[in-house]
Amino acid sequence: MYRTHTCGELRTDHSGEEVTLSGWVDNYRDHGGGLFVDLRDRYGLTQIAFSPPDSSAELIEESKNLRGEYVIQVTGKVAKRPAGQDNPKLATGDIEIRATELKLLNKSETPPVSPSEKVSEVAGEDTRLKHRYLDLRRPEMQRTMMLRDRITKRMRDYFEEHHFIDIETPILGRSTPEGARDYLVPSRVHNGKFYALPQSPQLYKQILMIAGYDRYVQIARCFRDEDLRADRQPEFTQVDVEMSFVDSDDIIGMIDGLVEKLAKDVLDIDVPTPLPRLTYDEAMRRFGHDAPDLRFEMEIVDCTDLAAKSDFGVFKNVVEGGGHVRAINAKKGTSKYSRRGIDGLTEYVKGFGAKGLAWFRCDDEGKLASTIAKFFGDDLLAELAKRLNAEPGDLILFSAADWATTCKVLHALRTKVAKEMELYDPKAMHFSWIVEFPMFELDEEADSPEGKGTWTAMHHPFTAPLEEHVELLDTDPAKCRAQAYDLVINGCEAGGGTIRIHDAPTQSKVFELLGIDAETAKDRFGFLLDALAYGAPPHGGIALGLDRVVMLFARLDNIRDVIAFPKTQKATDLMTEAPGSVDGKQLKELGIKLDS
């Protein structure tokens, strides 16, 4: 037997018991006459004392060979520590093990990543990824992995309580050209043909609804061959949900319950439900983004009409060109942003398509002042100040451009300024829904017969329009809103879903708008269209990004830290060195010849 207890469980109640512990040497303190070891496992740290009279001289001598990350087994008596020597930083800090036996189970090289929390500087991320086994040994990472485990368990419990069944769907599927780039898997049996790894189990779960499994859930691995971000991995995990005989409210309500339970069980915070909902149009108008961070205010204010009355050429030209002039008020921003600071913001917004950054500061008398103030009459300035609720010390930042650019710029500014000015508690959690997304967006790069871009599905081609918008499919697709909803946590898209089209006429109309002719549709999703013809129930669902949910619940800003073995920005695994090259023999069997 390697151990009778873990390194996290012994207390003064155990005093006098002989115990055996196994674990890693977290730290050692050599006093010549005696030596202390902090022994670590997943459960905590326990101090081992190699000192007389309990430990023999030979044992003490032996203990002097111990080094960091050596794996040892120790037997001894649990003892309350001498008065005044307890360590309140440790859960086991009131006791120690007076060692009588020591067995070295394994040695360790000097670790490039120290798993010990006593080392405050964590190694660089590339080193951590290369030696992931050491990084994952760090208590911080272990806590995150355990948090992830707890979240998925609670989710599974919740869905089970609500009579969902977990059904696995294939990893080897077929490629569909919509959406992200596919990861392809060549077929040996059918040379020249390829499977695709799923971007999500979307089509399968709809098929399951048609098959009568009215509440489906799966924790599903998904793959998208697109460039990475801090919150995006090529391989990620979705909590995939689909329900029959439901409308948007039913799905949203079901997930409200899940969020409420998770927040309570995992973070011990009470989240009032139903969660607040915002339409997409409102979110764009007030916050410039479809996943706004609602932990703070700083709403966008439209000033287009007032800007038109000024003599400021930049504003006038934009307004005359059909653009918009919108602004945010960074309350008390002048103390944070000097002229140089504003120059920094100006550079920043240029990265989002802004040509420059117009601004005003609000002086002590409540008047707007700026290098461009001279282009505005006093009345106009007062009107602006009133609309923007400007008070002394406030900093007003403008974006003048087309609608989409003002959204992008002001969203970027809003997020950056709020973070830099610490306008919210970094521990705060804000959950909300964005609903009624547009059905379509214009792909301006794609060529269409009409020559002005083509419609693409904002979510996917099976998304149902709002019932009252069905006729807009014929008259004004741009205005057509979908039965779609995104779960937003702290300005991060944590999940999204839709009610699906379950009738053939609507489906063909949408395909038509998307430029998918009957033949193409049949070729790509024939099986789904076939299935829809055999009594498809009204259905819809959602997929939550599990990695992101864990990241947000762990208050981390990086998805790699919640994935045991993540990929780098170039989609490689620094530990296994995947992807790697393969034998010519393997390629030959697959009928593949490489160019280079």
Partner RNA sequence: GGCGCGGUAGCUCAAUUGGUUAGAGCCCCGGACUGUCGAUCCGGAGGUUGCGGGUUCGAUUCCCGUCCGCGUCGCCA
State which of positions 10-29 bind RNA (CB under 7 A).
Answer: 27, 29
Window 510-549: residues binding RNA (CB under 7 A): none
Query: Contact between 580 and RNA (CB under 7 A)?
Result: no
Query: Contact between 140 and RNA (CB under 7 A)?
Result: no
Separation CA 500–CA 218 (nearest Å): 18
Tokens read off for 187: 């077929």
Q: Is 490 helix (H, G, I), strand (E, B) or coil?
A: coil
Instruction: Write the burial class of residue 300 (CB in 10 Å: 0-12 exposed, 13-18 middle, 19+ buried).
Output: buried
Which residue, 101 or 178, has its beta carbon nearer to RNA? 178
Which residue, 174 or 387, has its beta carbon nearer to RNA? 174
Q: Is 402 helix (H, G, I), strand (E, B) or coil?
A: coil
Separation CA 77–CA 4 (nearest Å): 12
Among residues 166, 226, 305, 378, the one that binds RNA under rule CB under 7 A: 226
Which residue, 86 or 302, has its beta carbon nearer to RNA? 86
Which residue, 333 or 461, has its beta carbon nearer to RNA? 461
Q: Do 127 and 113 meet the contact criterion of CB atoms below 8 Å apart?
A: yes
Separation CA 377–CA 553 (nearest Å): 49
Which residue, 312 or 462, has its beta carbon nearer to RNA? 462
Among residues 58, 121, 519, 595, the one that binds RNA under rule CB under 7 A: 121
Query: Contact between 556 and RNA (CB under 7 A)?
Result: no
How large is the C-alpha radius of gyration of the chain?
Answer: 30
Element (H, E) at 379: helix 378-387
Query: Contact between 106 and RNA (CB under 7 A)?
Result: no
Element (H, E) at 159: helix 139-161
Shortest spacing between CB 431 and RNA, in angstroms: 21
Number of residues that bind RNA (CB under 7 A): 74
Shortest spacing between CB 36 and RNA, in angstroms: 3
Separation CA 447–CA 296 (nearest Å): 41
Phi, psi (rounded to 5 degrees) for 473: -55, -35
In the chain the first and final C-alpha atoms are separated, in Å, by 56
Query: Contact between 494 and RNA (CB under 7 A)?
Result: no
Stretch that binds RNA, among 117-125, 264-272, 470-478, 544-552 (CB under 7 A): 117-125
Query: Contact between 227 and RNA (CB under 7 A)?
Result: yes
Among residues 558, 565, 575, 587, the one that binds RNA under rule CB under 7 A: 558
Closest CA to 244 of 164, 170, 168: 164
Query: Contact between 33 and RNA (CB under 7 A)?
Result: yes
Window 146-205: residues binding RNA (CB under 7 A): 176, 178-181, 199-200, 202
Among residues 12, 448, 569, 586, the one that binds RNA under rule CB under 7 A: 569
Window 459-478: residues binding RNA (CB under 7 A): 459-461
Shortest spacing between CB 204 and RNA, in angstroms: 10
Instruction: Write the burial class of residue 585 (CB in 10 Å: 0-12 exposed, 13-18 middle, 19+ buried).
Output: exposed
Shortest spacing between CB 505 and RNA, in angstroms: 21
Q: Do 354 and 326 meet the contact criterion of CB atoms below 8 Å apart?
A: no
Tokens read off for 522: 């049949």
